[in-house]
Amino acid sequence: MPYPIHDPRTPFPEGITVPPGTCALAMMIKAPRPGASKTRLSPPLTPEEAAAISTCFLRDTTANIAHVVSAHAPGGGGAPAAGVAVYTPTGLEAAFDGLLPDGFTMIAQRDGDFGTRLLGAVEDLLAVGYGSVCLIDSDSPTLPAAALAAAVEALAQPGDRVVLGPSEDGGYYLIGVKAAHKRLFEDITWSTEHVTPQTLARAAELGLETVVLPTWYDVDDRATLRLLWEELFGGDSTRAQAGGYPAPRTREFLASLLTAEGRGRLWPETAV
């Protein structure tokens, strides 16, 4: 069944209600397609497997978001939140049918470079009635729910601020704002270890209070895929103790792959 789609040109379309003060937990997503999804994971994965694990990441992260949204439902004691998929490309909306939890809405990404897409998503989500916005990446399927909840609560407090969830590679897995500050997305060397420090510098220029969440990691190459395996299958007790989301869809996919072909399929040095 199709999901309701926001249109910033029509802030209050029939069938979509945004209660005042709601925080959009908005995942930036692409339609999973072989050769266009998680390309840095191929190899060791085939293009088809990379698209399949992209689907798993999407389903696990949105399920995690839905859990946080439920905990922040009216009567739950927290600030209100809602799950949104900020998708691309337009025209492939049907590719997401059945992949998102009930209650999710969708909104199209704008064209342009990464910074332009992020800023556009913030502007469009605020325009359709959300009180604050957290943009969340599609590469962190085990991100602790506590980090998402902390971002929602921080943005519910009075006063302007930015919430940043740093990634181990120097980027960020989440940025949360209450207003569309263009400068936060300018002069950033995207896809490098400079993204977080440069973003913090932009926030300082703007005089914004900054809330920094615990560091987590993105899964975007062979090395970080191994980190994911170690977390999900018990080899990384540190991350397990940090309350990472169990990512059942991703775990099931990796288990089936490794059961069939062994660890040497992904990490040849472990083959015996």
Residue indicated by tokens 């049918």: 97
The answer to the question of residue 50 being in a domain is: yes
Q: Which residue in 155, 161, 167, 134 sits closest to 65, CA to CA?
A: 134
pLDDT of amino acid 235: 64
Number of domains in the chain: 1
Three-point CA angle 38, 39, 41, nearest 5°: 75
**CATH number for the domain including 124?**
3.90.550.10
How far apart, in whole angstroms, are the C-alpha atoms of residue 252 and residue 258? 10
For the stretch 44-88, pLDDT in tens is 999 999 999 999 999 999 999 999 999 877 665 678 999 999 999
For 136-159, what is the mean pLDDT?
Answer: 96
The answer to the question of residue 6 being in a domain is: no
Query: Which amino acid appears at position 271 of this protein?
Result: A
The answer to the question of residue 226 being in a domain is: no
Q: Which residues touch 254 (CB under 8 Å, ≥6 apart)?
A: 53, 228, 229, 232, 233
For the stretch 8-26, pLDDT in tens is 887 666 668 888 899 999 9
Q: Give the CA distances from residue 247 to residues 58, 65, 140, 190, in Å, rounded to whole numbers and listed in that order.
A: 10, 12, 10, 27
The answer to the question of residue 205 being in a domain is: yes
How far apart, in whole angstroms, are the C-alpha atoms of residue 105 and residue 149? 19
The answer to the question of residue 29 being in a domain is: yes
Domain housing 76 = 23-220
Which pLDDT band holds residue 139 (cuts at 50, 70, 90)?
A: very high
The answer to the question of residue 4 being in a domain is: no
For the stretch 216-262, pLDDT in tens is 999 999 999 999 998 998 766 566 667 899 999 999 999 998 887 77
Q: Are strands 132-136 and 105-108 parallel, antiparallel or unpaired?
A: unpaired
The answer to the question of residue 261 being in a domain is: no
How far apart, in whole angstroms, are the C-alpha atoms of residue 255 and residue 261? 10
How far apart, in whole angstroms, are the C-alpha atoms of residue 123 and residue 178? 10
The answer to the question of residue 272 being in a domain is: no
